[in-house]
Amino acid sequence: MKDFTATELEIYLKDNQPLLLDVREQWEWDKCHFENSKLLPMGQIMANIDLLDKTQEVIVICHHGIRSMQVAHYFSSIDFEKVINLRGGIDAWAKQIDNSMTLY
């Protein structure tokens, strides 16, 4: 598992197209989210794990990077091949990269 800062992710996304997996709740997603990301709340991952491709590169996103880190560790433990956690979460992204995003 890797861990990217918002700045590292911004650079990485210029040349790569991983799955952006948002593990926040629907109400958080409704406030702000990455364009082209997929919402799968943390509490629904176990029930939907078969919908994800273990060989696809996945960037896991949450509000501050705590839930996403837990999910990323879980994915790594069940043999997902390419997992990256967004350190600081969408909050760091909104503050450092895209200030048009709603903070909450």
Q: Which tokens go with 90?
A: 């969408």
User: Which residue of the set 23, 58, 60, 62 is catalytic?
Assistant: 62
Query: Of 58, 57, 60, which is closest to residue 68 (Cα–Cα)?
Result: 60
Q: What is the DSSP string of 70-94?
A: HHHHHHHHTT-S-EEEETTHHHHHH
32 counts as catalytic? no
Helices (H) and strands (E) in the chain, counts: 5, 5
Q: Which tokens go with 5?
A: 């800062």
Active-site positions read 62
